[in-house]
Amino acid sequence: MSRQTRLRRHLITKIKLHPVAGVYLGTESAKIKNSATVDFLVLALNAEAVTVGSFTQNSFCAAPVIIAKNNLNKNNIRALVINSGNANAGTGQQGLADAQQTCQLIADELGCDATQVLPFSTGVIGENLPMDKIAMAIPMAIANLSVTNWQKAAQAILTTDLVTKTYSKIVNIDGHASTITGIAKGSGMIHPNMATLLSFITTDAKITQQCLQAIMSKALTKSFNRITVDGDTSTNDACTLSATQQATMPTIDTIDSIGYKQFSVAIEKCMVDLAQQIIRDGEGATKFITIIVESAKNITEALKVANTVALSPLVKTALFASDPNWGRILAAVGRSGIEDFNIEALQIYLGDVLLVENGSRAASYTEQAGQAVMDCQEITICIVLNRGQITETIWTTDFSYDYVKINAEYRS
């Protein structure tokens, strides 16, 4: 069994996915990938549901992203439609027309308006959607809508992923039970400001649209915008959070309420868990890396340092080789662009092993101690700047031969 397989093995265990009242899922094999694998998903919502979302920061965003952002502003979303195998990106006006037509076909089946449908696509860029296959898949997916179809839904949105990413909890919100269930996909082209990921999270909580958006925006900064595999931000990534209002609980309508604070914590846990599952299933990944920057002046500075280390090919390949070449970490920190950087104050830890202090290798450091940490599959790098009070954490992977192979053969 390879190191990569061992890293992902725990993800294969299927957790219990609790149904969410007011959420119905239907899947189909549209054969967009030219296989029998499910690659098409319809997620239908009850009329009372409210939905918020966040989308890629890539200027060349895909056609479904443009349509979804426009439709989301109209509120009262009744369905999400997702296909894998084709990104419908870089497809110009035809791509927009295809995304619009997909929404209309869903709306015709569900008896709602096309602006109440959000489209999402993931896969190869630059190819038009096979609309004949989409049109055939839609009625079949809707025919098998069910509250229990979460596992198939998680499979339908995958591309280069090896395993599904799922989360489901029943949480206590101000003395009332509320269900949170969500799925995600993502393996490569992962970087902050959203990445090549899709995530669809649902809950039966009673909450206003304004409060739901505030909770999601805050949770994103600690989850999907704190992961990176390779520094590439995709054209298609998106995350939605839908609340069906079906739980027996008071409506969360103010940020000062106990319910708001408890629900905010619960959603952040969900999104962090899904984000970390994406990193564990990173393309070619053999190691799960946590990078913590402590005592920074501000958030921007902390993230600049963390991402410079996380995206360094030399650091990532050393992690893959289990080589305690701490000089690569030191060099990455040094080129991160911190102004007025006092290197004498810097400390760098590999696990609990102090690597650097007083501007050079720590006197207590031994190669044996460093090697013991590097041999682990889960590694923490802690960089203490001693410049302020801010701490930030991101998660990343190593850089293996398989990453190159996967992406070199992506369209094969």
Q: How far apart are CA 236 and CA 186, in angstroms?
A: 11
Domain boundaries, the chain: 3-280, 288-408
What is the tens place of the pLDDT at every residue in 318-336?
999 999 999 999 999 999 9
- At 153, give phi and psi (nearest 5°): -60, -40
190 vs 298, residue with greater confidence: 298
pLDDT at site 188: 58
Helical segments of 298-354, H only: 299-310, 313-320, 326-334
| Mean pLDDT, residues 247-256 | 97
pLDDT at site 10: 44
pLDDT at site 9: 45
Q: Where are the beta strands (DSSP E) in 220-272?
A: 227-228, 238-243
pLDDT at site 59: 72
| Mean pLDDT, residues 198-216 | 97
pTM passes above 0.75: yes
pLDDT exceeds cutoff 80 at 82 = yes
CATH architecture of 3-280: 4-Layer Sandwich (3.60)
Report the chain's mean pLDDT, rounded to a whole number: 91
Q: How far apart are CA 88 and CA 85, in angstroms?
A: 9
What is the tens place of the pLDDT at every residue in 259-317?
999 999 999 999 999 999 999 987 778 999 999 999 999 999 999 999 999 999 999 99
pLDDT at site 309: 96
Please compute, for residue 358, the number of CA atoms within 13 A of its CA located in the half-sphere on the CB side: 5
First to last CA, the chain: 25
- Residue 150's identity, in one-letter code, is W
What does CATH list as the number for 288-408?
A: 3.10.20.340
CB-CB contact of 294 with 393 (8 Å): no
What is the tens place of the pLDDT at every residue in 389-412?
999 999 999 988 887 777 676 554
Q: How far apart are CA 291 and CA 226, in angstroms?
A: 10
Answer yes or no: same fold for 3-280 and 288-408: no
pLDDT at site 290: 98
- Residue 271's identity, in one-letter code, is M
Q: How far apart are CA 3 and CA 285, in angstroms?
A: 9
| Mean pLDDT, residues 173-179 | 97
Q: How far apart are CA 175 and CA 179, in angstroms?
A: 13
Q: How far apart are CA 102 and CA 128, in angstroms?
A: 13
What is the tens place of the pLDDT at every residue in 365-391?
999 999 999 999 999 999 999 999 999
The percentage of residues in the chain with a pLDDT greater than 90, rounded to a whole number, is 79
**Active site residues per annotation:** 196
pLDDT at site 300: 95
